Amino acid sequence: MRDIANKYAFVIILIIVSLFSFGLQAKDNKFVLVIDAGHGGKDPGAIGARIKEKNINLGIALKLGALIQANHPDVKVVYTRKKDVFVELQERAAIANRVKADLFISIHTNSAGSKSAYGTETYTLGLARTEENLRVAKRENSVILLEDDFSTRYEGFDPRSTESYIMFEFLQDKHMEQSINFASLIQTQFKRSAGRIDRGVRQAGFLVLRNTGMPSVLIEVGYISNAAEERFLGSEDGQRKMAKSIFNAFCNYKSDFDRKMGRAVVTRNILPGGKGTSKVIAKADKPSIQDVQVESAAPEQKIENVVSSDEGQLVYKIQFMTSPSKYGANSSYYKGLHPVSCYKEGGLYKYTYGESTSKAEIQKKLPGVRKLFKDAFIVTFRNGKKVK
């Protein structure tokens, strides 16, 4: 009898423990934002005449986080650091992956040999196509030289060697479009809200962005090597303006995200310390890609292989790849898929395979394409225009 009672007690404890751990694992419905203040501790980042990069980054990061926490009750803010401490580069990305972040913002301050360089840049992950962008990635990635055994941990990646960056050419980043979209919103706000010089949305091979599994951007808030900009970024007022600009961009991005997810947009309309009338959500600006590598001359959403027959009928295709670059008909990037067509949207080239007015027929082809491109999905067109 005693034995049976013990068994029951054991089973009950087991149930309680598993319910508890399930509760811990289940992600609540909050949008998770990771704010990464670059550098810290023994790593000062770029050094100005009066202030160090690590302090500017942290100041803006904390102000941004506070604004978001005060205005978005449905957003959980996670910092990679809240103090002046050293955090390894891999760990910053790992934190974002562990908390299953929806968005990752890394905040940095730029520096250049020329004291006249001035202005803001927002980077997404990609291959740097200019020396200038590559230089920024090299400088930011070089923090791993302060980590023990960096060569093994980063698989032989040498942040100083140009050859190491070739791997970014073959990168498939399924979050590229969202990252570029968010980066554009940030640059627009830097110009509009903070009155900064907009040096555009750019791409380069940043290690911290390579390892994050969500839309991610790396912001260079300005040049510490420029006396006027150093003064601005070192001031409370300057940091507040930069944080507010990123906050506005976040509000735009988040309301778009909520709409796509079919969620109600949750925002408080009053800023802390505001007069009660200021509206948090700035009018969503149409993101403009200013990077020179991304041509945007062609009208958006016009597909190049226009389906001339089947007027008004729905046409289904499989989209398997997105890139800021235009590739030829027989590019090896398609992994043997042929024929491939391409349309342009939001400044990016989107590559599709297959074409049919029968959705079932395209659905049959999807598993085969997914073996090559695991994130492939079906897109629908009518009269050559993508149907949302």
- Per the listing, tokens 């289904």 go with 316
Give dist(CA 316, CA 309) in Å, integer.
Answer: 14
User: CB of 145: closest distance to Zn ion in angstroms?
Assistant: 13
User: CB of 218: closest distance to Zn ion in angstroms?
Assistant: 8
Stretch that binds Zn ion, among 35-43, 171-179, 198-206, 225-233 (CB under 5 A): 35-43
Q: Are 372 and 331 in contact (CB under 8 A)?
A: no
Residue nearer to Zn ion on the CB measure, 39 or 175: 39
Stretch that binds Zn ion, among 107-115, 124-132, 145-153, 325-333 (CB under 5 A): 107-115
Residue nearer to Zn ion on the CB measure, 71 or 106: 106
Q: Could you say which of 52, 108, 199, 210 contacts Zn ion (CB under 5 A)?
A: 108
Q: What angle do CA 317, 322, 328 make, to 5 degrees?
A: 85
Name the 3-class secondary structure at 102.
coil
Residue nearer to Zn ion on the CB measure, 45 or 59: 45
Residue nearer to Zn ion on the CB measure, 17 or 145: 145
User: CA end-to-end span of the chain, whole Å?
Assistant: 66
Q: Could you say which of 38, 59, 119, 200 contacts Zn ion (CB under 5 A)?
A: 38
Burial 309-341 (b: 16+ CB within 10 A, else e): eeeeeebbbbbbbbbbeeeeeeeebbeebeebb
Task: Tell me if the bond preceding 159 is cis, omega within 30° of 0.
Answer: no
Q: Where does the chain have alpha helices with state H?
A: 2-25, 53-71, 89-98, 131-141, 150-153, 176-192, 207-210, 227-234, 236-260, 359-372
Stretch that binds Zn ion, among 45-53, 70-78, 121-129, 164-172 (CB under 5 A): 45-53
Residue nearer to Zn ion on the CB measure, 36 or 140: 140
H or E element in which residue 108 lies: strand 103-110
From residue 133 to residue 162, the character string flagging contacts with Zn ion as x (rule: CB under 5 A) and all else as - is -------x----------------------
Residues whose CB falls within 8 Å of the CB of residue 210, separated by 6 or more in sequence, listed in order = 93, 125, 168, 171
User: CB of 110: closest distance to Zn ion in angstroms?
Assistant: 8
Stretch that binds Zn ion, among 43-51, 114-122, 146-154, 250-258 (CB under 5 A): 43-51
DSSP 322-333: EESS---TT-GG
Count, residues near Zn ion per rule CB under 5 A = 4
User: CB of 111: closest distance to Zn ion in angstroms?
Assistant: 8
Residue nearer to Zn ion on the CB measure, 142 or 293: 142
Give dist(CA 287, CA 261) in Å, integer.
Answer: 20
User: CB of 108: closest distance to Zn ion in angstroms?
Assistant: 3
Residue nearest Zn ion, Cβ-based: 108
Residue nearer to Zn ion on the CB measure, 121 or 140: 140
Give dist(CA 173, CA 179) in Å, integer.
Answer: 10
The contact set with Zn ion (CB under 5 A) reads 38, 45, 108, 140
